Protein backbone atom coordinates (compact mmCIF):
# COMPACT_ATOMS: atom_id res chain seq x y z
CA UNK A 1 0.00 0.00 0.00
CA UNK A 2 1.25 3.49 -0.95
CA UNK A 3 2.30 5.47 2.14
CA UNK A 4 3.16 8.78 0.48
CA UNK A 5 2.16 10.85 -2.52
CA UNK A 6 3.97 13.50 -4.55
CA UNK A 7 2.09 16.81 -4.61
CA UNK A 8 3.13 19.59 -6.99
CA UNK A 9 3.05 23.00 -5.30
CA UNK A 10 1.85 25.69 -7.66
CA UNK A 11 1.59 29.40 -8.14
CA UNK A 12 -1.79 30.24 -9.55
CA UNK A 13 -2.93 33.37 -11.30
CA UNK A 14 -6.47 33.90 -12.43
CA UNK A 15 -9.38 36.18 -13.12
CA UNK A 16 -12.99 36.30 -11.99
CA UNK A 17 -15.31 36.16 -14.98
CA UNK A 18 -18.56 36.95 -13.15
CA UNK A 19 -17.77 40.69 -12.98
CA UNK A 20 -17.48 41.20 -16.76
CA UNK A 21 -20.45 38.85 -17.30
CA UNK A 22 -22.66 40.94 -15.01
CA UNK A 23 -21.41 44.11 -16.69
CA UNK A 24 -22.62 42.83 -20.07
CA UNK A 25 -26.08 42.38 -18.56
CA UNK A 26 -26.08 45.57 -16.47
CA UNK A 27 -23.77 48.38 -17.53
CA UNK A 28 -24.17 50.06 -14.13
CA UNK A 29 -21.93 47.60 -12.29
CA UNK A 30 -18.43 46.74 -13.43
CA UNK A 31 -16.24 44.49 -11.29
CA UNK A 32 -12.89 43.24 -12.50
CA UNK A 33 -10.81 41.02 -10.26
CA UNK A 34 -7.59 39.04 -10.59
CA UNK A 35 -5.69 37.01 -8.07
CA UNK A 36 -2.45 35.23 -7.45
CA UNK A 37 -1.99 32.42 -4.97
CA UNK A 38 0.96 30.33 -3.97
CA UNK A 39 0.86 26.95 -2.27
CA UNK A 40 2.70 26.86 1.03
CA UNK A 41 2.15 23.13 1.39
CA UNK A 42 -0.52 20.58 0.43
CA UNK A 43 -3.13 22.28 2.65
CA UNK A 44 -2.43 26.01 2.73
CA UNK A 45 -1.96 28.64 0.05
CA UNK A 46 -1.32 32.35 0.28
CA UNK A 47 -3.89 34.44 -1.62
CA UNK A 48 -3.63 37.99 -2.90
CA UNK A 49 -6.43 39.47 -5.00
CA UNK A 50 -6.91 42.91 -6.50
CA UNK A 51 -9.51 44.55 -8.64
CA UNK A 52 -11.40 47.55 -9.86
CA UNK A 53 -15.05 48.48 -9.57
CA UNK A 54 -17.19 51.14 -11.20
CA UNK A 55 -20.73 51.39 -9.86
CA UNK A 56 -23.60 53.76 -10.52
CA UNK A 57 -27.09 53.69 -9.09
CA UNK A 58 -30.19 55.79 -9.58
CA UNK A 59 -33.22 55.80 -7.38
CA UNK A 60 -36.31 57.99 -7.58
CA UNK A 61 -34.71 60.81 -5.61
CA UNK A 62 -30.96 60.41 -5.99
CA UNK A 63 -27.99 59.32 -8.10
CA UNK A 64 -24.93 57.63 -6.70
CA UNK A 65 -21.45 56.84 -8.05
CA UNK A 66 -18.64 54.73 -6.61
CA UNK A 67 -15.39 54.05 -8.38
CA UNK A 68 -12.16 52.57 -7.08
CA UNK A 69 -9.96 49.59 -6.41
CA UNK A 70 -9.55 46.93 -3.79
CA UNK A 71 -6.90 44.61 -2.46
CA UNK A 72 -7.45 41.48 -0.44
CA UNK A 73 -5.09 38.99 1.09
CA UNK A 74 -5.43 35.83 3.10
CA UNK A 75 -5.09 32.11 3.28
CA UNK A 76 -6.81 29.31 1.35
CA UNK A 77 -7.26 26.05 3.19
CA UNK A 78 -7.77 22.82 1.23
CA UNK A 79 -10.10 20.37 2.95
CA UNK A 80 -9.39 17.52 0.54
CA UNK A 81 -7.02 14.74 1.47
CA UNK A 82 -3.67 15.02 -0.37
CA UNK A 83 -4.24 11.80 -2.30
CA UNK A 84 -7.63 13.13 -3.50
CA UNK A 85 -6.45 16.67 -4.21
CA UNK A 86 -3.27 15.45 -5.96
CA UNK A 87 -2.40 19.07 -6.68
CA UNK A 88 -5.32 19.27 -9.12
CA UNK A 89 -8.41 19.67 -6.99
CA UNK A 90 -9.22 22.12 -4.27
CA UNK A 91 -12.33 22.16 -2.13
CA UNK A 92 -11.99 24.34 0.85
CA UNK A 93 -12.33 27.71 2.41
CA UNK A 94 -10.51 31.00 2.02
CA UNK A 95 -10.23 33.62 4.74
CA UNK A 96 -9.29 37.11 3.60
CA UNK A 97 -8.92 40.68 4.73
CA UNK A 98 -9.90 43.31 2.20
CA UNK A 99 -9.13 46.99 1.73
CA UNK A 100 -11.25 49.13 -0.54
CA UNK A 101 -10.08 52.55 -1.71
CA UNK A 102 -12.62 54.45 -3.76
CA UNK A 103 -14.31 57.69 -4.71
CA UNK A 104 -17.89 58.04 -3.54
CA UNK A 105 -20.20 60.72 -4.90
CA UNK A 106 -23.85 61.63 -4.86
CA UNK A 107 -24.15 64.04 -7.79
CA UNK A 108 -27.74 64.91 -6.97
CA UNK A 109 -30.57 64.19 -4.65
CA UNK A 110 -33.86 65.88 -3.97
CA UNK A 111 -35.74 66.09 -0.73
CA UNK A 112 -39.36 67.15 -0.59
CA UNK A 113 -41.30 68.29 2.43
CA UNK A 114 -43.79 70.99 3.51
CA UNK A 115 -41.38 73.77 2.51
CA UNK A 116 -40.93 72.48 -1.02
CA UNK A 117 -38.27 70.61 -2.92
CA UNK A 118 -34.64 70.90 -1.88
CA UNK A 119 -31.92 69.83 -4.31
CA UNK A 120 -28.55 68.93 -2.86
CA UNK A 121 -25.43 67.01 -3.80
CA UNK A 122 -22.54 65.38 -2.01
CA UNK A 123 -19.18 65.94 -3.68
CA UNK A 124 -16.70 63.24 -4.51
CA UNK A 125 -14.54 62.08 -1.63
CA UNK A 126 -11.81 59.45 -1.28
CA UNK A 127 -12.81 56.71 1.16
CA UNK A 128 -10.91 53.75 2.62
CA UNK A 129 -13.09 50.90 3.86
CA UNK A 130 -12.10 47.47 5.07
CA UNK A 131 -13.72 44.10 5.55
CA UNK A 132 -13.18 40.39 6.11
CA UNK A 133 -14.27 37.65 3.71
CA UNK A 134 -14.88 33.94 4.00
CA UNK A 135 -14.91 32.10 0.67
CA UNK A 136 -15.85 28.45 0.52
CA UNK A 137 -15.43 27.06 -2.97
CA UNK A 138 -14.15 24.47 -5.36
CA UNK A 139 -11.46 24.40 -8.03
CA UNK A 140 -10.43 21.70 -10.50
CA UNK A 141 -7.66 21.40 -13.06
CA UNK A 142 -9.48 21.09 -16.33
CA UNK A 143 -6.42 20.81 -18.58
CA UNK A 144 -2.76 20.68 -17.75
CA UNK A 145 -2.02 23.77 -15.63
CA UNK A 146 -5.42 25.31 -16.38
CA UNK A 147 -8.09 25.41 -13.66
CA UNK A 148 -11.61 26.60 -13.24
CA UNK A 149 -13.45 27.03 -9.99
CA UNK A 150 -16.06 28.94 -8.11
CA UNK A 151 -16.50 30.36 -4.66
CA UNK A 152 -19.26 31.89 -2.62
CA UNK A 153 -18.04 35.01 -0.88
CA UNK A 154 -19.48 36.02 2.47
CA UNK A 155 -18.24 39.36 3.73
CA UNK A 156 -18.43 41.35 6.96
CA UNK A 157 -17.78 45.06 6.86
CA UNK A 158 -15.36 46.25 9.51
CA UNK A 159 -15.52 49.93 8.57
CA UNK A 160 -17.22 51.68 5.64
CA UNK A 161 -14.72 54.52 5.95
CA UNK A 162 -17.32 57.18 6.61
CA UNK A 163 -19.54 58.07 9.51
CA UNK A 164 -22.95 56.43 9.60
CA UNK A 165 -24.91 59.38 8.16
CA UNK A 166 -23.08 59.22 4.84
CA UNK A 167 -21.90 55.64 4.63
CA UNK A 168 -21.09 54.57 1.06
CA UNK A 169 -23.66 52.59 -0.87
CA UNK A 170 -21.06 50.48 -2.66
CA UNK A 171 -17.52 49.44 -1.76
CA UNK A 172 -15.31 47.95 -4.49
CA UNK A 173 -14.54 44.32 -3.69
CA UNK A 174 -17.20 44.27 -0.99
CA UNK A 175 -20.47 45.23 -2.66
CA UNK A 176 -23.46 47.01 -1.10
CA UNK A 177 -22.47 49.04 1.96
CA UNK A 178 -24.52 46.92 4.34
CA UNK A 179 -22.98 45.30 7.45
CA UNK A 180 -22.77 41.94 5.63
CA UNK A 181 -22.74 41.10 1.93
CA UNK A 182 -22.60 37.98 -0.21
CA UNK A 183 -21.44 37.25 -3.72
CA UNK A 184 -20.12 34.55 -5.99
CA UNK A 185 -17.05 34.33 -8.17
CA UNK A 186 -16.11 32.04 -11.01
CA UNK A 187 -12.39 31.84 -11.57
CA UNK A 188 -10.33 30.82 -14.55
CA UNK A 189 -6.72 30.34 -13.60
CA UNK A 190 -3.36 29.32 -14.92
CA UNK A 191 -1.10 27.23 -12.71
CA UNK A 192 2.67 27.19 -12.59
CA UNK A 193 4.17 24.23 -10.70
CA UNK A 194 7.31 25.30 -8.87
CA UNK A 195 8.10 22.47 -6.48
CA UNK A 196 7.11 18.92 -5.62
CA UNK A 197 6.70 17.73 -2.10
CA UNK A 198 6.21 14.24 -0.78
CA UNK A 199 3.34 13.98 1.65
CA UNK A 200 2.92 11.00 3.91
CA UNK A 201 -0.53 9.48 3.85
CA UNK A 202 -2.34 8.91 7.10
CA UNK A 203 -2.90 5.24 7.66
CA UNK A 204 -6.44 4.16 8.36
CA UNK A 205 -6.63 3.17 12.00
CA UNK A 206 -7.12 -0.55 12.11
CA UNK A 207 -9.32 -2.05 14.75
CA UNK A 208 -7.32 -4.19 17.06
CA UNK A 209 -8.83 -7.11 18.85
CA UNK A 210 -7.11 -8.89 21.59
CA UNK A 211 -7.61 -12.45 22.49
CA UNK A 212 -9.48 -13.03 25.62
CA UNK A 213 -6.98 -15.68 26.47
CA UNK A 214 -4.14 -13.22 26.22
CA UNK A 215 -5.80 -10.59 28.43
CA UNK A 216 -8.13 -12.77 30.39
CA UNK A 217 -11.87 -12.40 30.59
CA UNK A 218 -13.25 -9.14 31.79
CA UNK A 219 -15.55 -9.20 34.72
CA UNK A 220 -18.48 -8.09 32.57
CA UNK A 221 -17.73 -10.56 29.88
CA UNK A 222 -17.34 -7.89 27.17
CA UNK A 223 -14.58 -7.96 24.63
CA UNK A 224 -11.72 -5.57 25.34
CA UNK A 225 -10.71 -3.36 22.46
CA UNK B 1 -15.49 15.79 -17.50
CA UNK B 2 -18.68 14.96 -15.68
CA UNK B 3 -17.30 16.66 -12.59
CA UNK B 4 -16.58 19.81 -14.55
CA UNK B 5 -20.09 19.76 -15.92
CA UNK B 6 -21.49 19.48 -12.40
CA UNK B 7 -19.36 22.40 -11.26
CA UNK B 8 -20.67 24.55 -14.06
CA UNK B 9 -24.29 23.62 -13.33
CA UNK B 10 -23.93 24.38 -9.63
CA UNK B 11 -22.23 27.65 -10.44
CA UNK B 12 -24.97 28.72 -12.81
CA UNK B 13 -27.64 27.95 -10.19
CA UNK B 14 -25.74 29.97 -7.58
CA UNK B 15 -25.30 32.86 -10.00
CA UNK B 16 -28.94 32.91 -11.04
CA UNK B 17 -30.04 32.89 -7.40
CA UNK B 18 -27.57 35.61 -6.46
CA UNK B 19 -28.55 37.77 -9.40
CA UNK B 20 -32.27 37.31 -8.83
CA UNK B 21 -31.82 38.52 -5.26
CA UNK B 22 -29.50 41.41 -6.11
CA UNK B 23 -31.58 42.60 -9.06
CA UNK B 24 -34.88 42.69 -7.22
CA UNK B 25 -35.79 46.36 -6.95
CA UNK B 26 -36.25 47.28 -3.32
CA UNK B 27 -39.05 49.35 -1.90
CA UNK B 28 -38.79 51.98 0.76
CA UNK B 29 -40.84 51.28 3.86
CA UNK B 30 -39.13 53.71 6.21
CA UNK B 31 -39.97 57.24 7.27
CA UNK B 32 -38.08 59.58 4.96
CA UNK B 33 -38.90 62.96 6.55
CA UNK B 34 -37.29 64.17 9.75
CA UNK B 35 -39.83 66.17 11.78
CA UNK B 36 -39.27 68.19 14.90
CA UNK B 37 -41.52 66.40 17.39
CA UNK B 38 -43.26 68.72 19.84
CA UNK B 39 -45.12 67.28 22.83
CA UNK B 40 -47.71 69.43 24.60
CA UNK B 41 -47.90 69.83 28.37
CA UNK B 42 -50.27 71.78 30.57
CA UNK B 43 -48.17 74.27 32.52
CA UNK B 44 -50.56 74.29 35.49
CA UNK B 45 -50.40 70.53 36.10
CA UNK B 46 -47.21 69.52 34.25
CA UNK B 47 -49.17 66.69 32.61
CA UNK B 48 -49.00 65.78 28.94
CA UNK B 49 -52.25 67.16 27.49
CA UNK B 50 -52.73 67.62 23.76
CA UNK B 51 -54.56 70.82 22.78
CA UNK B 52 -58.25 70.61 21.84
CA UNK B 53 -57.44 72.49 18.67
CA UNK B 54 -54.12 73.02 16.95
CA UNK B 55 -53.36 75.05 13.86
CA UNK B 56 -49.79 75.21 12.62
CA UNK B 57 -48.56 76.90 9.46
CA UNK B 58 -45.22 78.12 8.19
CA UNK B 59 -44.96 81.88 7.92
CA UNK B 60 -44.91 82.68 4.22
CA UNK B 61 -46.69 79.47 3.30
CA UNK B 62 -50.28 79.22 2.07
CA UNK B 63 -50.96 75.75 3.37
CA UNK B 64 -51.09 74.57 6.97
CA UNK B 65 -49.33 71.64 8.60
CA UNK B 66 -52.29 71.24 10.99
CA UNK B 67 -55.63 72.98 10.66
CA UNK B 68 -57.82 72.94 13.80
CA UNK B 69 -56.58 69.44 14.45
CA UNK B 70 -57.79 67.85 17.66
CA UNK B 71 -55.67 65.95 20.18
CA UNK B 72 -52.38 66.08 18.26
CA UNK B 73 -49.62 64.57 20.35
CA UNK B 74 -46.83 65.01 19.38
CA UNK B 75 -47.01 67.65 16.66
CA UNK B 76 -44.72 66.81 13.75
CA UNK B 77 -43.13 70.07 12.64
CA UNK B 78 -41.28 70.08 9.29
CA UNK B 79 -38.20 72.31 9.16
CA UNK B 80 -36.95 74.00 6.01
CA UNK B 81 -33.70 72.25 4.91
CA UNK B 82 -32.86 75.10 2.53
CA UNK B 83 -32.68 77.71 5.31
CA UNK B 84 -30.91 78.01 8.67
CA UNK B 85 -34.21 78.80 10.36
CA UNK B 86 -37.97 78.90 9.90
CA UNK B 87 -40.94 80.44 11.63
CA UNK B 88 -44.40 79.07 12.36
CA UNK B 89 -47.72 80.49 13.41
CA UNK B 90 -49.07 78.20 16.09
CA UNK B 91 -52.66 78.52 17.26
CA UNK B 92 -53.36 76.53 20.41
CA UNK B 93 -57.03 76.42 21.42
CA UNK B 94 -57.73 79.53 19.33
CA UNK B 95 -54.88 81.71 20.65
CA UNK B 96 -52.06 82.68 18.26
CA UNK B 97 -48.35 82.48 18.98
CA UNK B 98 -45.29 82.36 16.78
CA UNK B 99 -42.35 80.06 17.22
CA UNK B 100 -39.05 80.28 15.33
CA UNK B 101 -36.48 77.52 15.06
CA UNK B 102 -32.78 77.98 14.27
CA UNK B 103 -30.80 74.92 13.27
CA UNK B 104 -28.15 73.40 11.06
CA UNK B 105 -29.01 70.77 8.46
CA UNK B 106 -27.03 67.69 7.52
CA UNK B 107 -27.61 64.91 5.00
CA UNK B 108 -28.33 61.38 6.17
CA UNK B 109 -28.48 58.18 4.13
CA UNK B 110 -31.54 56.19 5.19
CA UNK B 111 -30.98 53.17 2.97
CA UNK B 112 -30.28 52.25 -0.63
CA UNK B 113 -34.03 51.97 -1.26
CA UNK B 114 -35.10 55.15 0.53
CA UNK B 115 -32.13 57.32 -0.39
CA UNK B 116 -31.14 60.43 1.50
CA UNK B 117 -32.95 62.77 3.81
CA UNK B 118 -32.10 65.89 5.80
CA UNK B 119 -31.54 65.76 9.55
CA UNK B 120 -31.12 68.85 11.71
CA UNK B 121 -29.33 70.00 14.84
CA UNK B 122 -31.53 72.47 16.73
CA UNK B 123 -29.53 75.46 17.95
CA UNK B 124 -32.19 77.66 19.51
CA UNK B 125 -35.80 78.74 19.36
CA UNK B 126 -37.78 81.91 20.00
CA UNK B 127 -41.51 82.12 20.77
CA UNK B 128 -44.23 84.51 21.85
CA UNK B 129 -46.10 83.91 25.11
CA UNK B 130 -49.79 84.48 24.44
CA UNK B 131 -50.83 80.88 25.04
CA UNK B 132 -47.41 79.26 25.30
CA UNK B 133 -45.90 79.43 28.76
CA UNK B 134 -42.49 77.95 28.01
CA UNK B 135 -40.73 75.63 25.58
CA UNK B 136 -38.12 73.12 26.68
CA UNK B 137 -35.58 71.59 24.32
CA UNK B 138 -35.30 67.88 25.12
CA UNK B 139 -33.38 66.50 22.15
CA UNK B 140 -31.47 68.75 19.76
CA UNK B 141 -30.91 66.21 16.97
CA UNK B 142 -33.95 66.00 14.72
CA UNK B 143 -34.15 62.68 12.94
CA UNK B 144 -36.73 60.22 11.66
CA UNK B 145 -36.77 58.49 15.06
CA UNK B 146 -39.89 58.89 17.12
CA UNK B 147 -38.48 60.83 20.06
CA UNK B 148 -39.79 64.23 21.21
CA UNK B 149 -37.46 67.14 20.57
CA UNK B 150 -39.28 69.87 22.47
CA UNK B 151 -41.93 70.14 25.20
CA UNK B 152 -44.40 72.99 24.77
CA UNK B 153 -46.03 74.07 28.05
CA UNK B 154 -49.25 76.06 27.60
d(CA A137, CA A184): 9
**Which of A182, A223, A215, A194 lies closest to A37, judged by CA?**
A194
- Domain membership of residue B126 (yes or no) is yes
Query: Of B15, B86, B113, which is closest to A184 when you measure between CB atoms?
Result: B15
- Domain membership of residue B16 (yes or no) is no
Q: What is the pLDDT of residues B94-138, one digit of tens each?
A: 999 999 999 999 999 998 889 999 999 999 999 999 999 999 999
- Domain membership of residue B24 (yes or no) is no
CB A7 within 8 A of CB A87: yes
Asked if B12 reaches chain A (Cβ–Cβ under 8 Å), the answer is no
Q: Look at chain B and report how many structural domains it folds into.
A: 1
Q: From residue B149, give the alpha-carbon distance in Å to each of A166, B75, B79, B135, B137.
A: 23, 10, 13, 10, 6
Contact between A169 and B118 using a beta-carbon 8 Å cutoff: no
- Domain membership of residue B10 (yes or no) is no
Sort out which chain B residues have CB atoms less than 8 A from A118's CB and list them: 81-82, 118
Q: What is the pLDDT of residues A10-63, one digit of tens each?
A: 999 999 999 998 888 888 899 999 999 999 988 999 999 999 999 999 988 899
Asked if A116 reaches chain B (Cβ–Cβ under 8 Å), the answer is yes
Distance from CA of B1 to the nearest CA of A (A): 8
Q: Is residue A217 over pLDDT 50?
A: no
d(CA A157, CA A41): 30
Sort out which chain A residues have CB atoms less than 8 A from B79's CB and list them: 115
Strand partners, A130: A99, A159
Domains in chain A, ordered, with CATH?
Answer: 4-215 (2.40.160.20)
Q: What is the pLDDT of residues A96-146, one digit of tens each?
A: 999 999 999 999 999 999 999 999 999 999 999 999 999 999 999 999 899
- Domain membership of residue B84 (yes or no) is yes
- Domain membership of residue B15 (yes or no) is no
Q: Give me the domain span that covers residue B142.
A: 35-153
d(CA B139, CA A106): 29
Distance from CA of A216 to the nearest CA of B (A): 53
CB A185 within 8 A of CB A18: yes
Residue A196 confidence class, pLDDT cut points 50, 70, 90: confident
Query: Of B11, B33, B107, which is closest to A166 when you measure between CB atoms?
Result: B107
d(CA A133, CA A152): 10
Residue B152's Cβ-side half-sphere holds a number of Cα atoms within 13 Å equal to 30
d(CA A100, CA A144): 34
Asked if B86 reaches chain A (Cβ–Cβ under 8 Å), the answer is yes
Asked if B107 reaches chain A (Cβ–Cβ under 8 Å), the answer is yes
Q: Which residue of A has its CA nearest to B18?
A: A183
> What average pLDDT is seen over chain A?
87
Gyration radius from chain A CA atoms: 26
d(CA A94, CA A137): 8
Contact between B117 and A111 using a beta-carbon 8 Å cutoff: yes
Sort out which chain B residues have CB atoms less than 8 A from A154's CB and list them: none
CB A171 within 8 A of CB A101: no
Amino acid sequence: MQDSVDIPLKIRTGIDVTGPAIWFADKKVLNAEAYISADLNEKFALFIGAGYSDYSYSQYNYDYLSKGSFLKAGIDFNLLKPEVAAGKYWAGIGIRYGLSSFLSETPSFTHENYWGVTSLSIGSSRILGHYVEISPGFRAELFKNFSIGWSVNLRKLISPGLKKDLRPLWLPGYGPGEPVSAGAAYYISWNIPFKKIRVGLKKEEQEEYYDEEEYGESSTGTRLR
Amino acid sequence: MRKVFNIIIVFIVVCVLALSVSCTPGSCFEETNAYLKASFYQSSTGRAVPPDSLTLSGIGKDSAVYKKAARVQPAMIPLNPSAPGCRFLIRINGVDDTISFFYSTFVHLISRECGYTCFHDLDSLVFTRHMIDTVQIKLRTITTFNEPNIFIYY
